[in-house]
Structure formats: structure tokens, C-alpha cells
Structure 1
Amino acid sequence: MTASLQVTEQPTAQRYFTPEEYLALEETAESKSEYCDGVIIPMTGASTNHNHISLNMSIALRLALKGLDYNVFMGDVRLWMPKKQFYTYPDVMVILGKPEYYNNRKDTVINPQVIIEVLSKSTKSYDRSDKFQFYQTLPTFQEYILIDQSRIYVEQYCKLANKRWSYSQYDEEDTALVFDFFKVEVSLADMYEKVDFEAENEPEDSAEE
């Protein structure tokens, strides 16, 4: 009788990177990644609905804030949260006055007042929980807007005193989101222009006929 040898695979050790290593990798990477306290997390690609909503909001805010001392950034500008050692790319950011750059990097800011995230099925829980907590470590952060890309549904968090936040939700196309920080109004019809909910909710494994 011979004994059989069972080999148990050992889990691969987690590789940790310094912030400097992450930034160097991002400069040549084909796709964007987040960085969280040593761990690099690949970001998923955006859908057409995601892109429509981000662009609609950026255009609406740029037009409404034209001539005022605000900067609107979309997608490719990185945000650094030193207290959490966290880098990410919010879908839309609004900064009052001049952007403050981290280590003079013109691709990385640290002082947004308003952040907008477009929710997908895979990221909505993360955007509502951990990422929101990370954003709250920024002293300038005042307002958080979450926009669902699979249905008409918008959530708004506004900073109050003593680390409290007010909460509002919008789910009707004939209503409008009114930003608290700068009193700009954006209708949900404009926000969701060109968004195709049927395409968003189709099963990913549906076969072509």
C-alpha cells in the first residue's frame, strides 16, 4: 500500500507598494488603478451610461459655474487622501478657487469641496461606505453626490456641524438636484440624457441572435 502525497498550495503573499512606486506605475499603465495603504487596486472600465452621466454633470456644472471661481474636473484627475494613504479618481470633482496639488503634481489634487460618483453594480456598496469614509478625511470636503447608472436614483450628502451629514434622495425624472455648496440646480432629465437603462440591465451573458 502506497501513501499518496497531498500538496496544498500556499496563498500568494500580498505585494505592498509605496506611494512613489504606485505613481511611477500609473504613469505607464494602460488602465487606471486606485492605491490604498500599500495595495494597488485595478479600476474597472466605465460603461457608456457611466460616461454619459459623468459628462452630463461636468458640462452642467461648467456652464452653471462659468465666470465664478470654481474648477470642475472629470475622471482623469487623481485625488490623494493622506490620512488614509489613498489615491483614487473621482468621476467628477469641484474645487473652489485654485486646486491644491500634492507634491506639485499637476495630476493630483487634495482640496475638492464636491465629489460626484456614478454608481455601477460592482462599485455602489464601496462608493457608499469605505470610499465615502475616506473622502470625509479631507478638510475641504462638503458634499457627496451618488448617481445610479442603472435607474433614475440620486443620493445627496451635505456636511453639517459636528461631523454630521444630511441625506436626500431623488428618483423622479421631472425633479432637480440642487447642490448645497453652490446652489446650482441640475434636472435629472439633463443628468440622465442619452442614458440607456435597458442596455445597462441586460444580462452580461446574453447571446447574440
Structure 2
Amino acid sequence: MVIAQAKPIAKNISPESEASDGKVRVTLEEYRAIAETSEERYEYCNGEIIAMTGGSSAHSCIAVDITTFLNIAVRKTNFQIYNGDLRIWVPAFNHGTYADVLVINGEPEFNGDRTDEILNPLLIVEVLSPSTEGYDRGDKFRKYRSIPSFCEYLLVSQSEPYVEQYYQLDRQNNNQNNRDRWQLEICDRLDQAIHLQSLNLELPMSEIYRRIKF
């Protein structure tokens, strides 16, 4: 997912929103007004907003094909698949963000009376871009891990057949000391398949990269 610091639409923010350091800071209410009316998408991070720019053709193809495959594969289960339009809310960090693909188990849990901010992602997929790779692996993953329902994470390269899979160990154990124990698995061949622990499902690498020519 590609992000870049940028100013929001001026009519939706107060004149005091731009701080002396040049960053744009808004209230949560102002951010939600921007998100509802702007053609661009923005992350919200504890009062600061970050504009999200468009991705590449490969990025889009990969995200769509993962979404399509998973949606068909789980259609007779309680799992639900969402694309990048639904905002993930991370209460511990007062942070609203977007993933390329997310899966929930059962009914969605929304943030208060919002229907555009979800609280209970199970599996999150991010298609890596050069500008966000460090963020997706680092600070964003750290924030995601504070969500109690979140237990599996895929980082998908768009430049080569390469997927990093992180899944939570001792998921059934509610001991808080075990919540941050994660296993890393790597798939780097088109003839491999990723066993999604949270869905008990095989995701073939060939489906992820079905339309990509390397």
C-alpha cells in the first residue's frame, strides 16, 4: 500500500490544522469528514493524517486476485472477506488505517456507531510497495498486533514471487505473555502454497501471481 504525507482538502479542515512543523493535524471528527467526502484516502494517526496515493497495476492485480480467491474459497463458512475500502481502527494507538485485504470471522465489530471502521480483523494482507515496505513490516505490524482478534499477516511482494507469512503462536492461549509470539514462514516459488492458519486454507502462490509477469 502506497502512502505519502500530504495536505487534505482545505474546506474540510480548520485553519489551525497545519502545525509549525508543517504536518497537518486534525480532530477525529475532521478526519472522518475528510474520509467521507474526499476522492483520496487518508490514514489517521492520533491527530495526524497521511494521504494514501494509488498503487501500481501489479499491486492492484495481486490484491484483487487474493480477494477473489479467498472470497470464493470461504463462501460457505463464517469468514468474510473485505477489500481495501474498509478502514481498520486500532484503539490502542488511536489509529485508522487501510489494508489491501482483510478477513474477519463471523459478524463485523464496528467502532461505536461507525460502519466504516472495523475492530476485529483476523487475517490482514498487505501488498508491498517500495515506499511502504518498512512501514508495513514495522510500525504498522506493531499496531496491528494490539488488536485482540488479529492473528495472521501476509506481506506480499509485487516484484517477485515472495510472501512472508506471520501467524500467532498459542492463539488459543489467552495468556497475555504469549500474545506476541509469532511464527514466520516464507514462500518464494510459484509451485508452493501458503497454509493460512487462521482459515485452515491453502492459498496457492500461482493464484496470487496469476496475472503477473516477472
Residue of structure 1 in register with 2:166 after alignment: 157
Residue of structure 2 in register with 1:137 after alignment: 146
Given the alignment of the two structures, is residue 168 of structure 1 paired with residue 162 of structure 2, yes or no? no
Given the alignment of the two structures, is residue 107 of structure 1 paired with residue 124 of structure 2, yes or no? no
Given the alignment of the two structures, is residue 70 of structure 1 paired with residue 79 of structure 2, yes or no? yes
Given the alignment of the two structures, is residue 196 of structure 1 paired with residue 213 of structure 2, yes or no? yes
Residue of structure 1 in register with 2:14 after alignment: none
Question: What is the CA–CA distance in structure 1 between the aligned matches of 2:131 and 2:183, rounded to whole Å?
Answer: 25
Gaps in structure 2 of 5+ consecutive residues? 1-19, 171-177
Which of the two has higher C-alpha Rg? 1
The amino acid of 1:115's aligned partner reads I
Tell me the number of residue pairs that the alignment of Structure 1 and Structure 2 aligns: 187
| 1:79 pairs with one of 83, 88, 96 | 88
4+ residue runs over 4 A deviation: none
| 1:178 pairs with one of 192, 195, 202 | 195
The amino acid of 1:20's aligned partner reads E
Answer whether contact 1:36 1:84 (CA < 8 A) is retained: yes
What SS does the aligned partner of 1:59 have? Answer: helix
Question: What is the CA–CA distance in structure 2 between the aligned matches of 1:120 and 1:15, rounded to whole Å?
Answer: 24
Please give the TM-score of this superposition, normalised by the length of structure 2: 0.84
Answer whether contact 1:34 1:41 (CA < 8 A) is retained: yes
CA positional deviation for 1:104: 2.2
Answer whether contact 1:49 1:196 (CA < 8 A) is retained: no
Superimposed CA distance per residue, residues 160-188 of structure 1 (whole angstroms, 9 cap, x where no aligned partner): 13121000011001111110111111111
Residue of structure 2 in register with 1:26 after alignment: 35
Residue of structure 2 in register with 1:8 after alignment: none
What SS does the aligned partner of 1:196 have? Answer: coil
Residue of structure 2 in register with 1:49 after alignment: 58
Aligned Cα root-mean-square deviation (Å):
1.2
What SS does the aligned partner of 2:99 have? Answer: coil
CA positional deviation for 1:13: 4.4
CA positional deviation for 1:50: 0.8
Superimposed CA distance per residue, residues 6-28 of structure 1 (whole angstroms, 9 cap, x where no aligned partner): xxxxx644332121111111111
Greater displacement, 113-122 / 156-165: 156-165
